[in-house]
Amino acid sequence: MAKCVGLFALVLATQANAEQTLFGPTRNGVQMVCADVNDAGVTATDLVGTWILGFWSGLNAAKNARVGDGTTANGVVGEVKLYCSAHPSVTLAQATLDSYAALRESSRK
């Protein structure tokens, strides 16, 4: 029993301190933020839009999920742009991850 409690505490401590390293597109050598996305008029067919779709698809592959299956490529990029309009200082990578998580959560309901 003590081993189970110790293992459980270790797992919780590891998850609480774990941080993700997210690599996203850069602009002049600096990670793009949502304000850049809003200024650039990103679409599903340009380089940044393609990055969003690739990252989103990678998340689906890693999680064996189908988040965004009910929309189009433009819809997925639109979700990220919508998030970015409310969070201009968030990096594009984090914005895509947050948008993915929100759509995944809403599709579970």
Q: How many CA atoms lie within 13 A of 54 on its CB side?
A: 11
DSSP state of 56: H
Query: 84 with 38: CB under 8 angstroms?
Result: yes
Give the 3-state secondary structure of residue 27.
strand
Count how many residues are written for the chain: 109
pTM value is 0.79
Sheet strands (E) in the chain = 26-27, 30-31
Taking the C-alpha atoms of residue 29 and residue 38, their distance in angstroms, rounded to an integer, is: 18
Apex CA 54: angle with CA 50 and CA 57, to 5°?
140
Task: Summarize pLDDT for 28-64 with one digit per residue, the tens.
Answer: 899 999 999 888 889 999 999 999 999 999 999 999 9
Specify the pLDDT at position 21.
82
As a whole-number percent, the residues of the chain with pLDDT over 70 amount to 83
